[in-house]
Amino acid sequence: MDNVKPSVLRLEDITMQFGGVVAVNNLCLEVRKGEIIGLIGPNGAGKTTAFNVVTGVYAPTNGALYLNDNLIIANYPRGKMKEFYQGENKGKYTKSMILSPDRITKMGVARTFQNIRLFKDLTVFENVLIAKHMNIKANIFSATFRLNRKEEQWMREDAMSLLQILGLDKNKDDIASSLPYGKQRRLEIARALATKPSLLLLDEPAAGMNPQESDELMHFIGRIRDDFDLSILMIEHHMQLVMGVCERIYVLDYGIKIAEGNPAEIQNNPRVIEAYLGVDE
Amino acid sequence: MTKKTKTICSIIAGLVIAAFIFYVGEGVSSSSMLRTVLQLGTIYALVAVSMNLLNGFTGQFSLGQAGFMAIGAYTYAVLTIPVDKKANVYYLYGIADSLANVEIPLWLGIIAGGLLAAVLAAIVGAPVLRLKSDYFAIATLGFSEIVRILVGSSPFNRITNGSLGLNSIPGNPSYYTPFIVAGICIAIIVLILTSSYGRAFKAIREDEIAAEAMGIRLSTHKQMAFIISSFFTGISGALLAMYLGAITSTTFPIMLTYNILLIIVIGGMGSVTGSILAAFLVTAAKEWWLRFLDQTMMIGDFQVPLLRTGFRMVVFSIILMLVVLFWRKGIMGQKEFSWDGLLNLFKRVKNRLWGTKKGGTLNG
């Protein structure tokens, strides 16, 4: 039924193995245009590892990753990993394509981090402005001698309007680390949006927030999806938020996908309940 | 303070500095300590600012400055020593045939020094910049030593004159040369730092992972910072050769790098004005104010203990330790000089001195 919407992100049989530890095993996941997808699971289930594979921080051990139906990342067990590989689908992939995180950001995938990673000693405005640097046309000479005034002007205006939309314009000249926690989270999202993504990855956006703040965040996430024409994939532990905002949810446990479906299905899925609450023996 | 008064203050301050440099140039005898400190301080200010570009702004802790200065200095010297003096300079080993008739204008020599340093930085940078923090520092330190040993070694006798070093290097055409060259270079560095690329450098310093997630390509940007920093370090090396008139490989020991490190730590990692200020302070202290520590002093029949050759450096090291322990941010921290900052400082000092007497409470 969802087949009408084009696919934005597709993970096929992604396996990530560190030494002898399989952090993510054979993960298949799809994000379609305009969707808000949740990725949940107990601590250590491999959610952030999956994010790091999507954003190019790690190269997967096996599997393929498509962005807008174009293959961008692929790998198969090579070298020493050939012997140690414990995942499935060995031999299915024979191609190796690895991209660095900056390339993936340029392709329209932006992210936030679990433990906020702002440019702490720079101002709020500079934080957003830096995200505009990746599309700069001027080389270092013309930028130095200010031959790109128009471009610079455009970058500043763009960054400023983004701050206004997200309600951070009053804090423009504040040092990022001096902002209250909720605003730091919001600034991190603003900074990610400044790269003009088509897919936004949020890693525990509600971590450390009180119920009221996370309620605001829920509306905020829905709003930016509409305003910026985004698809969103988010990791979150806050069940109320996940159930409230996500259209589909994937559940990971020990690196394996144990369930997927809409919030109601997930809530009643016995395997999910088992993973979260444990079982009586 | 309004913007207008700030501009007026800046213009006045600029004129005062220019007038001071002019006064020292015209009115003070050429053997005066003040002249030495101003000229040497300017050269150190340029090295410090370019080292700060890499260490303080991009967060790549390099210790290769002495090596790049040596490259700049030797390039300048080899290319500009007058042809008729070359026979004298290279009396022992002779000169390489291809260099025997080379004598280029001084300004071209300075730029050539910077360019060669930049080219070597590009070659060395590709592998070395993959290393993180401490390992990068060790690798650049090693590079600096390799350069120093190579320029003094026999295979290069006919170019660098081996351990004899080079002399008869054409000096400053005028007393003002170092100020003009260093001034232009520092202005360019400031322009780079305030451009979009400068912001990207700062982002890398703040958080490499986040910078990469913002689409900043780490390898090219680190490489850029390394090359730019080395280019201007090379130029300052050429200026030093110009100032000294004679160089050997021992002119560029590791201690030189540490001296500059001392300047940027005292001035504040990540502050251009701090580096400039500290360059003059440190040079004045080292060459002038603390000289007495190196001489034995007699008061009547009593010889003041500890004062002897080399004690100056001990005091210097203690100052560095104190700065790192109690004043880690240095004079300026990551801030730049601003009139508002100066005004605040005056207010704070005023409160300290007079605030308590009135019985008012004191906040920091």
Q: SS3 for chain B, per residue? A: CCHHHHHHHHHHHHHHHHHHHHHHHHHCCCCCHHHHHHHHHHHHHHHHHHHHHHHHHCCCCCCCHHHHHHHHHHHHHHHHCCHHHHHHHCCCCCCCHHHCCCCCCHHHHHHHHHHHHHHHHHHHHHHHCCCCHHHHHHHHHHHHHHHHHHHCCHHHHHHHCHHHCECCCCCCCCCCHHHHHHHHHHHHHHHHHHCHHHHHHHHHHHCHHHHHHCCCCHHHHHHHHHHHHHHHHHHHHHHHHHHHCCECHHHCCHHHHHHHHHHHHHHCCCCHHHHHHHHHHHHHHHHHHCHHHHCCCEECCEECCCCCCCHHHHHHHHHHHHHHHHCCCCCCCCCCCCHHHHHHHHHHHHHHHHHCCCCCCCCC
pLDDT on residue B356: 58
Structure token digits, residue A230: 């985004």
Show which of residues 196-225 on chain A sit within 8 Å of chain B, judged by CB atoms. none
pLDDT on residue A3: 56
Which band of pLDDT confidence, cut at 50, 70 and 90, is reported for residue B309? Answer: confident
Q: Which whole number is the average pLDDT over B78-90?
A: 89
Identify which of B191, B213, B228 has the shortest CB distance to residue A105: B213
The CA distance from A190 to A124, in Å, is 10
Structure token digits, residue B128: 């070395």
Whether B213 sits inside 8 A of A121 (CB atoms) is no
Q: What is the pTM of this model?
A: 0.91
Asked if residue B276 has pLDDT above 50, the reply is: yes
Chain A contact probe: residue of B58, B130, B191, B206 with most A CBs at under 10 A: B206
pLDDT on residue B207: 93
Which one-letter DSSP state was computed for residue A191? H
Whether A120 sits inside 8 A of B207 (CB atoms) is yes
pLDDT (tens digit, 9 = 90+) per residue, B66-82?
Answer: 999 999 999 999 999 99
pLDDT (tens digit, 9 = 90+) per residue, B182-197?
Answer: 999 999 999 999 999 9
pLDDT on residue A280: 61
Whether A262 has its CB under 8 Å from any CB of chain B: the answer is no
Asked if residue B173 has pLDDT above 90, the reply is: no
**Average pLDDT of the residues of chain B:** 89
Asked if residue B116 has pLDDT above 90, the reply is: yes
Q: Which whole number is the average pLDDT over A129-157?
A: 91
Identify which of B209, B216, B228 has the shortest CB distance to residue A134: B216
The CA distance from B107 to B111, in Å, is 6
Contact B192, A82 (CB under 8 A): no
Question: Which of B355, B281, B350 shows the shortest CA–CA distance to B316?
Answer: B281
Q: Which whole number is the average pLDDT over A24-52?
A: 91
Nearest Cα residue in chain A from B192: A144
The CA distance from B335 to B332, in Å, is 6
Identify which of A113, A117, A136 has the shortest CB distance to residue B196: A136
Contact A231, A33 (CB under 8 A): yes
> Which of A218-232, B38-52, B334-348 bottoms out in mean pLDDT, i.e. has the lowest?
B334-348
Identify which of B210, B214, B224 has the shortest CB distance to residue A134: B214
CA angle A79, A82, A83 (to 5 degrees): 115
Whether A228 has its CB under 8 Å from any CB of chain B: the answer is no
Asked if residue A279 has pLDDT above 70, the reply is: no
pLDDT on residue B364: 43
Identify which of A144, A155, A191 has the shortest CB distance to residue B214: A191
For residue B341, count other CB atoms closer than 10 A to its CB.
13
Q: Give A261→chain B minimum CA distance, Å.
A: 30
Q: Give A179→chain B minimum CA distance, Å.
A: 16
φ/ψ of B59, rounded to 5, equals: 75, 20
Identify which of B188, B202, B212 has the shortest CB distance to residue A102: B212
pLDDT on residue A208: 84
pLDDT on residue B88: 86
The CA distance from B113 to B74, in Å, is 8
Query: CA-CA distances (angstroms) from residue B288 to B41, B280, B282?
Result: 12, 11, 10
Whether A126 has its CB under 8 Å from any CB of chain B: the answer is yes
Identify which of A101, A135, A143 has the shortest CB distance to residue B213: A101
Give the pairing of strands A109-111 and A199-203: parallel
Question: Which residue numbers of B have CB closer than 8 Å to A's CBs?
Answer: 188, 191-192, 195-197, 199-200, 202-203, 206-207, 209-218, 224, 228, 334
The CA distance from A86 to A17, in Å, is 8
Whether A195 has its CB under 8 Å from any CB of chain B: the answer is yes
Q: Which whole number is the average pLDDT over B202-216?
A: 94
Identify which of A122, A133, A138 has the shortest CB distance to residue B206: A122
- Percent of all residues in chain A with a pLDDT value above 70, rounded to a whole number: 98
Nearest Cα residue in chain A from B335: A121
Question: Which burial class, exposed, middle or buried, applies to B96 when counting CB atoms under 10 A from its CB (0-12, 13-18, 19+)?
Answer: middle
Asked if residue A214 has pLDDT above 90, the reply is: no
- The most confident of A38-47, B297-306, B336-345, by mean pLDDT: A38-47
Strand, coil or helix: A149: helix
A126 contact residues in B (CB cutoff 8 A): 199, 202
Question: Which of A25, A3, A22 shows the shortest CA–CA distance to A11?
Answer: A25
The CA distance from B206 to B60, in Å, is 11
pLDDT on residue A86: 82
Q: Give the rounded distance of the alpha carbon of B342 from its chain centre.
A: 25
Residues composing chain B: 364
Q: Give A190→chain B minimum CA distance, Å.
A: 11
Chain A contact probe: residue of B194, B195, B329, B338 with most A CBs at under 10 A: B195
Q: Give the rounded distance of the alpha carbon of B204 from its chain centre.
A: 23
pLDDT (tens digit, 9 = 90+) per residue, B245-266?
Answer: 999 999 999 989 988 998 999 8
The CA distance from B283 to B44, in Å, is 8
Whether A144 sits inside 8 A of B203 (CB atoms) is no
Which one-letter DSSP state was computed for residue A175? B
pLDDT (tens digit, 9 = 90+) per residue, A175-200?
Answer: 999 999 888 999 999 999 999 999 99
The CA distance from B255 to B263, in Å, is 12
Q: Give B212→chain A minimum CA distance, Å.
A: 5
**For tokens 């001084």, what's the residue?**
B106
Whether A146 has its CB under 8 Å from any CB of chain B: the answer is yes
pLDDT on residue B328: 79
Bridge partners for A252 per DSSP: A257
Chain A contact probe: residue of B185, B193, B196 with most A CBs at under 10 A: B196
Higher per-residue confidence, A122 vs B94 = A122
Q: Could you report the predicted ipTM of this complex, rounded to two decimals?
A: 0.91
